Structure 1
Amino acid sequence: MTTATVTEDLYPTRLAQAREPIRRSHPTVWGDAAAGPFTGEELNAHEARGFTILQDFVTADEVAAFTGELDRLSQDEALKDDPRVVTEKATGQVRSIFEVPALSEQLDALSRDPRLLDRARQLLGSDVYLHQSRINYMPGFKGTGFYWHSDFETWHAEDGMPTPRSVSCSIALTQNYPFNGGLMVMPGSHTVFVPCVGETPEDNYKSSLKAQEIGVPSEADITALADEFGIDQFTGPAGSALWFDCNIMHGSGNNITPFPRSNVFLVFNSVENTLVEPFGASAPRPEHVAHHDFTPLR
């Protein structure tokens, strides 16, 4: 499908000079309690915090099946030089595998599962399509984290996502302890968009998917956000799901424990928020990183 046309950039970023953070002008929750599984109270909490944790979202058998797919794909020699496979910068171990529904029937079925679609449609108030998908793997001892960032900042600047009308679902395939590189979030920070300084290099995704350096906020901005919103963490057993707004500030530390951490990561975007030309890059990222098939998921 073709991209839409947007004339005004409400969330400018990748700037030559720093500017003040922008208070978000769009809602986080677009639907209501009658439209899906979340109750009115849960929707209000999600609107305020920018994230929701659901325990036992998938079964133990499903966790085992998805973990088997991670192992199969990470060991597939045919994918060794595939651009969809991202490796750790220092060790060469698999870090992420993108576009997983195209590589796995089980993960394709998961992306269309009513347990996910009904919640994504309710939060975004429309039909949805899959903007991005991947399996993440953080091995024990050597797994490296990700610096503080807003996903929407990157998706806006480099993919051309017009507004923050997108939601991510991260399903834990391993126990998420407070000490094995679990995801940290700043509750409520999704209400503030932080413009970042620095021009986007050509093919920035090739390095940013290993270690993001462009499109990250300053230490002063991170400090101000932490002072205002505090920091929480996604912990819980395998099978738990974290639903989080695309603009929430989040990051993860290195995993120096013996306990690996892995998850399935699916990004749902509203069909009323389809991609246009990038707002802060000379060319869009490739299809396996940011999909341009806007067909609603069924």
Structure 2
Amino acid sequence: MTLAQSRTNDTNVSDAYPTRLRGGEAQLLDRSDPAVWGVADDGPFDAAELAAHEAKGYSILEGLISPAEVQGYWRELERLSSDEQLKADERVVTEKTSGEVRSIFEVHKISELIAELARDPRILDRARQILGSDVYIHQSRVNYMPGFRGNGFYWHSDFETWHAEDGMPRPRAVSCSIALTDNYPFNGGLMVMPGSHRTFVQCLGETPDDHYKASLKEQEIGVPSENDITKLAAEHGIDQFTGPAGSALFFDSNIMHGSGNNITPYPRSNIFLVFNSVENTLVEPFAASSPRPEFIGARDFTPLSRD
């Protein structure tokens, strides 16, 4: 692995993670930033848990929310997906083939219940601790993966896209995925490569204008090569997020992850909250002509509070 020479974007912010290369070969770059910025005294994670998160790039918490809470959020997801007026909203992404709802973005602004969840100390305090600062919501969404026909997400690093298309300077962001259905090994559960967050995988190909309109359904630009995925898997292996509804996965913005299709009768749905440090706010995109819409990459950096 090598560390490529930094460059700058249009706002003269140094680019330590160049990607979307127009020529040459993609490289595997050593990450120059920590995954954990806080310490044990800052929040709920103890020192051993923080060390494990730094090493693996993710933490699983079973039973973070109660069965009664799970039912309440599940009803909220059903309400949102059946809202005919909402389906015309650009924030709703449908499956490429079936037309069924795949994701609803900026959901913390659509649902007061989910807005409250983002401020819940069980979640917010852990995000603050991992990132070592106040945080804001960079992105929120709910994901629906129905039984029999739910499509997965190909291997990718979220940070690669957020850096290239949103202008996130460094991987000082963490995602929290809260399972509202039981996650089995066979119903399209999220797969991660533990330790892969220490490597930034460059991607080839120039970002098309309005790329988000296609990539939210099926991403083709900003995905690693099969050769690079094979290298990472050989070095790190693959773990899977499984567990009962109510479990939560906190995972680093740069970890390599993906999910397979769901051909079982068991649906898989989750609430997805991305927290970014207020010390890592967005600038101009590093590899796109203009930023993606704010419902995908927020530019309101107001810190979240428990209020």
Q: What range is the shorter-chain TM-score in? A: over 0.9
1:221 aligns with 2:228: yes
Q: Of 277, 281, 284, which aligns to 1:277?
A: 284
Matching residue of 2:35: 28
Per-residue deviation at 1:19?
A: 2.8
1:39 aligns with 2:46: yes
Matching residue of 1:119: 126
Q: Of 236, 247, 270, which aligns to 2:254?
A: 247
Alignment of 1:156-235 (within 5 A): 156-235=163-242
Q: Which deviations, in whole Å up to 9, do the C-alpha atoms of 1:42-100 show, x marking residues without a partner?
A: 00000000000000000111111111111101111111210010000010000000111
1:97 aligns with 2:104: yes
Unaligned ranges ≥5, structure 1: none
Unaligned ranges ≥5, structure 2: 1-10
Q: Of 15, 22, 32, which aligns to 1:16?
A: 22
Are the equivalent residues in 2 in contact too, given 1:6–1:162 (CA < 8 A)? no
Per-residue deviation at 1:233?
A: 0.3
Per-residue deviation at 1:262?
A: 0.1
Looking at structure 2, the residues matched to 255 and 171 of structure 1 have their Cα atoms a distance apart, in angstroms, of 18
Secondary structure at 2:88 match in 1: coil
Secondary structure at 2:235 match in 1: helix
State the identity as a percent: 71
Q: How many residues align?
A: 295
Matching residue of 1:108: 115
Q: Give the root-mean-square deviation of aligned CA atoms.
A: 1.0
Q: Which amino acid in structure 2 is aligned with residue 12 of structure 1? A: P
TM-score under structure 2 length normalisation: 0.95
Q: After the TM superposition, which parts of structure 1 deviate over 6 Å for at least 4 consecutive aligned residues? A: none
1:51 aligns with 2:58: yes
Are the equivalent residues in 2 in contact too, given 1:6–1:276 (CA < 8 A)? no
Looking at structure 2, the residues matched to 20 and 154 of structure 1 have their Cα atoms a distance apart, in angstroms, of 16
TM-score under structure 1 length normalisation: 0.98
Secondary structure at 2:264 match in 1: coil
Secondary structure at 1:80 match in 2: helix
Are the equivalent residues in 2 in contact too, given 1:171–1:240 (CA < 8 A)? yes
Looking at structure 2, the residues matched to 19 and 55 of structure 1 have their Cα atoms a distance apart, in angstroms, of 37
Q: Which amino acid in structure 1 is aligned with residue 17 of structure 2? A: Y
